[in-house]
Amino acid sequence: MTTKLARFAQKRWISSTTSTSNMYDPRVFRDPVTNVQELRKPLDSDDERNFLFLKAMKSDATPVFYRDHVIDKLIRVCTKDGEKETSRKNVLSALEIIKRRQYKAWAKASEEEKKSIELDPFLVAKKGIKNCHPLMKLQGVTRGGTTYQVPFPIEEPEAEFRAMKMMRDICRVRSKHGETHFKDILATELLAASQNEGSTIQAKQELHKTCEANRAYAHYRA
C-alpha cells in the first residue's frame, strides 16, 4: 500500500520531494535506539516501533563504553575534508594528553589537593566546552541598506556548536603557525577552558563584549 501511495503521490500535482529523496521512507522507518539501557527495557504494546522498520545503525553510533555525545560532536566539528579518522585520532590523543597531565599533577599533589583534581579527561573536556558556551550571538540584519550586527539569544545546541567551532579555529590557527601539533594545542585549550582560562574563553568574552556594545540594535530583532 505504501508503494502504491508513494507512486500515486509522485504525480505532478502533489509534491513529495522530501519523501522520495530519502531512501528511508518516513512512513515506515523510525530512528534506532542507541542507548544500551533503553535497549533492555521492553517496548510498550502500542509503541509504533513494534510494527515499523528501524533504520540501520550509523557507523559512529556503536554503543561502546567510551561513547560520548559531546566528544563525538567535537570529533565531527574538527573533521576536515571528510577525514574523520584523522580528527578522531587527534581528539582522542588530546584526551590522552589531558589524562597524563592530570595524573602527573595528581601524583605530585598533597592529600587534600588530590580531591580537587579531576582525572577523567571526558569530564574535563565536557566542562571546558560547557564553559565556552556563548550566551548570545551576532546576526546580520539589514535595515535601510545598512547591515547591523544585532545580538540574538542562542539555543543550547548551537551554543555548543559555536563553542566547539571557536576552539577548533583557534587550535587550527596556532597549529598552522607551527607551535606544536593540533592535539597538543587542543589538550591545552580544553584544560585551560575547564578552569575558565585560555584563548577560547577570551574569544567568548570578546563576543559578549561586542554583544554588549551592540545592545542598542536589539530592537532590530525580527
Partner 1 sequence: MLRIVLARSSRAMSSASPASASDSDTSVRKIGKALETYLKHSQQHVAMMEKHRAEFETGRRHLAKMMSLDIHELDQEAIDRAILYLFPSGLTDPNARPVMRPPDEILPKFQRFTFDEEGKPEGSRFFTLSPKIYGLLSDIGVKTHSVMKFYDEHVGSRSVNRSDLEPANLSGSQWVTADKLKKKLSEKFSKELYGQVIIAFEHLASLPGSAIEQKFLMEFREPMTASTGSKLFGPAIPEVHVCAVTNRRYAEVTTRCKDTRATVKVTDAGKGKFDIDGLQLHDFRHLQAREILLAPMIVSQSLGRFDVTATTSCISNTLPEAPNKAPLMRSGGMSALPRAVRHGTALCVAALQPEAIEPLRLSGLLTLDPRKNERSKVNQPGARAKWIWKRR
**Using the rule CB under 8 A, which residue among 53, 96, 114, 179 binds partner 1?**
53
Query: For 14, how many CA atoms within 13 A lie in the half-sphere containing its CB?
Result: 10
Q: What angle do CA 73, 76, 81 make, to 5 degrees?
A: 170
Nearer to partner 1, 21 or 116 (CB): 21
Residue 56 found at the interface with partner 1 (CB under 8 A): yes
C-alpha cell, 60: 559512529
Residue 8 found at the interface with partner 1 (CB under 8 A): yes
**Cβ 90 vs Cβ 59: under 8 Å:** no
Compute the least distance from the CB of residue 95 to partner 1, in Å: 13
**Using the rule CB under 8 A, which residue among 3, 18, 37, 62 binds partner 1?**
62
- Side chain identity, residue 166: M
**Cβ 115 vs Cβ 207: under 8 Å:** no
CB neighbour burial string for 118-137, b if at least 16 within 10 angstroms, e if fewer: eeebeebbbbbbebbbbebb
List the x/- string, 92-131, binding to partner 1 by CB under 8 A.
Answer: x---------------------------------------
Residue 86 found at the interface with partner 1 (CB under 8 A): no
Contacts of residue 116, Cβ cutoff 8 Å, sequence gap at least 6 = none
**Binding residues for partner 1, per CB under 8 A?**
1, 4-5, 8-9, 14, 23-24, 29, 32-34, 36, 39-40, 42-43, 45-51, 53-57, 59-60, 62-64, 84-85, 88, 92
